[in-house]
Amino acid sequence: MPITQEEVFSKVQTVLVDALGVDEEEVVPTAKLVADLGAESIDFLDIVFRLEKAFGIKIDQNELFPEALLNDPQYVVEGKVTDSGMTELRRRLPHLEFGDFEKSRAVSAFSNLFTVDAIVKFVNDKLAKQ
């Protein structure tokens, strides 16, 4: 039987509670991992490992969080994502809603795109491809 949306959200919630030491009530779909839930860079690795375990999926490095891309001078110039960088981000990260980021393109604001909902969407995409 396929996993329901409620089950996906509940598992993601547990992963984030365990990885970030936050309360379950804080893990709402719009919560930003860094700004609202206090995630630090190492937590992203922890979250990837825990998602793999919780859902039985394999997540490659850079698949969920594109660290290499944001350190690439071809895609980022003076702290801002270039046109080709935006194209690449959209292609690699279909689970993100870019919204206002398109205007500022500031790398410093990039982490705000990672919401609980984006993680749920990412997991759904991975499960659909299995």
Partner 1 sequence: MRWIWIDRIVELDRGRRCVALKNVSLAEDVLHDHFSARDGRGPWPVFPQTLIIEGMAQTAGILVGHARDFKEKVILAKIGLARFTALARPGFTLRYTAVLERIDESGAATGGEVELIDPGTGAVKPLAKIDLLYSHIDQNRAGLQFPEHNFVFTGQLMEMLRQSGLPAPG
Can you give the binding site for partner 1, defined by CB under 8 A? 18-19, 41-46, 49, 52-53, 60-61, 65, 67, 71
Q: Residue 70 or 127: which CB sits closer to partner 1?
A: 70
**For the chain, how big is the Rg over CA atoms in Å?**
15
Please give the helix or strand (H or E) that residue 77 lies within, else none: strand 76-77
Q: Residue 60 or 78: which CB sits closer to partner 1?
A: 60
Q: Is 85 exposed, middle or buried (0-12, 13-18, 19+ CB in 10 A)?
A: buried
Q: Residue 28 or 59: which CB sits closer to partner 1?
A: 59
Work out how close the CB of 46 gets to partner 1 at its nearest, in angstroms, rounded to a whole number. Answer: 5
